[in-house]
Amino acid sequence: MGNEKRKVLLIATGGTIASSASEHGLRPSVSSSEIIKFIPEVTDYADVSTMQLCSVDSTNMKPEIWVDIVKTIKDNYDKYDGFVIAHGTDTMAYTAAALSYLIQNSKKPIVLTGSQRPIEFKETDGTRNLLDAFIYAADPRSQDVSIVFDGKVIAGTRAKKVRSKSFNAFDSIDYPFIAIIQGGQIMRYIEPKEFSNEVTFYEHVDDKVYLMKLIPGMKVHDMESIFKYYDAIIVESFGVGGIPDTVEDDFYKLVAKYPDTVIIMSTQVSHEGSDMTVYEVGQKIKSECHFLESYDMTLEAVIAKTMWMLANINIKDKALIEDVFYAHINYDLIFGKNREAK
């Protein structure tokens, strides 16, 4: 590794990894400077500094904290070679996706990690995950936003939490792992990208995004209030996509009445994505309404990309919205609109 270790900043936000037992259950209380003491061997890989940004259960993670993370990395970007964010697991995939859009073209690695059991516990996955995150963040070939967990490196837009208790909590949806880490060694499956543009930081997010999850026979009381308040509605449909007849009349009328509301069709199915052209129920809405389609994006990426997009472009420009939404960012779209792999 040479004589000079690479500088990595640990940004702690709370989560299970930093939690201690209390009479009301686990709660974040271990500081960034205390967490790092559990992996003394990290000094073999990196020159580490620590920062406590906040201390929240990841259930309470919110877009405002995403922006605080962005500002922290932006302010320290020239001082460090990489960044590790200690984060709770429940919303880690959302934060990883959000940072993929809020920090683009980063030649330096921005790595999220955490644990299923507190780092203070005897049987914890926290020490391994945290050390692996630093090993990856300190490697000069690492870049962009990713999650390092259970020895796997997952692109920030492809991660999903698939297990609530097991150590192998995350999977990479319909895309290979960027790398795996074993015995302190990184084995890469995806070669680093060549960025033609400089790193770009975005500090604005529009959280007026509504997720409408469909259920069989559903009815929505006062659907118009949703269209009135929210800038975008993401419809989490069944299978490859469609709108059930129990809500379609109201939905079509409101789409026409509120043309500036961005509509995005997604799917409840984790793998293989949406395709509204397959069935009549999908083709009907495709012919009668203007909307975006998630295709093979994860739901976490769709939500985060929409929040970023709405805050940073003119949402009345339908052509621009399509161009931005279907742009490939940190592997978020593999096939996309034209169904050709990128």
Task: Give per-residue burial for 120-154: e unless 16+ CB within 10 Å, then b.
Answer: bbeebbbbbbbbbbbbbbbbeebbbbbbbbbbbbb
Active site residue 16: yes
Q: What is the four-CA torsion angle of 325, 328, 334, 339, rounded to 10 degrees?
A: 60
- Paired tokens of 198: 């400089």
Q: What are phi and psi of 6, to 5 degrees?
A: -75, 145
Contact 211, 303 (CB under 8 A): yes
Q: What is the C-alpha separation between 132 and 109, in angstroms, rounded? A: 13
**E strands along 87-158, which residues?**
103-104, 109-113, 144-149, 152-155
Q: Residue 208 and residue 197: Cα distance in Å, rounded?
A: 30
Neighbours of 106 (CB within 10 A): 22
Q: Which of 13, 16, 157, 298 is the catalytic position?
A: 16
- Local structure of 257: helix, strand or coil: helix
Q: Are 34 and 23 in contact, with CB atoms under 8 Å apart?
A: no
Backbone angles phi, psi at 130, to 5 degrees: -65, -45
CA angle 85, 133, 56 (to 5 degrees): 30
> How does strand 179-182 pair with strand 170-172?
unpaired
Active site residues: 16
